[in-house]
């Protein structure tokens, strides 16, 4: 007989949420809350939160971002997350890496590198680069 009372008790256990409280929570969203949709809902509304559909990633989607982020937002966030050509955190000596970064061919690839070679030639350096 106790199973008949459980749905009624479940409704009493969780207080009803007004639409205005949901709207006020969604207006305070930040970028990190967009990545974690569960953080925008109150913790006491587990029953209601399970009935709200959550956005999912589409496998066929060409965008690397979830569907909850608009394309204009994703294009403005992308430069902040990229770390291309960053400095290495630890010094790990390697002859190959040194030649690749500061070698003669690396100096010839850029305008400033050509200027370095020119200055070293004018100064009379025997070794222009590594």
Residue of 77, 81, 80, 79 lying closest to 69 (CA atoms):
77
Could you report the per-residue pLDDT of 90-125, keeping only the tens digit for each?
777 889 988 998 999 999 999 999 999 999 999 999
Q: Is residue 62 part of a domain?
A: no
Same domain, 52 and 100: no
| Radius of gyration in angstroms for the set of CA atoms belonging to the chain, rounded to a whole number | 29
Domain count, the chain: 2
Q: Is residue 117 part of a domain?
A: yes
Residue 115 structural domain: 94-130
Q: State pTM to two decimals.
A: 0.33
Both tokens assigned to 23? 């709207």
Q: Is residue 82 part of a domain?
A: no
CB neighbour burial string for 47-58, b if at least 16 within 10 angstroms, e if fewer: eebeeeeeeeee
Q: Is residue 19 part of a domain?
A: yes
More confident residue, 90 or 15: 90
Could you report the per-residue pLDDT of 67-80, keeping only the tens digit for each?
565 555 556 666 66
């Amino acid at each position: 007989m106790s199973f008949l009372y459980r749905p009624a008790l479940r409704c009493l256990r969780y207080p009803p949420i007004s639409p205005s409280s949901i709207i006020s929570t969604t207006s305070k969203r930040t970028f990190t809350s967009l990545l974690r949709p569960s953080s925008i809902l109150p913790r006491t509304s587990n029953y209601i939160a399970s009935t709200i559909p959550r956005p999912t990633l589409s496998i066929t989607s060409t965008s690397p971002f979830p569907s909850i982020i608009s394309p204009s937002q994703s294009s403005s966030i992308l430069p902040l997350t990229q770390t291309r050509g960053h400095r290495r955190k630890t010094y790990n000596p390697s002859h190959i890496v040194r030649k690749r970064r500061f070698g003669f061919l690396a100096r010839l690839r850029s305008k400033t590198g050509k200027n370095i070679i020119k200055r070293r030639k004018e100064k009379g350096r025997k070794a222009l680069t590594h």
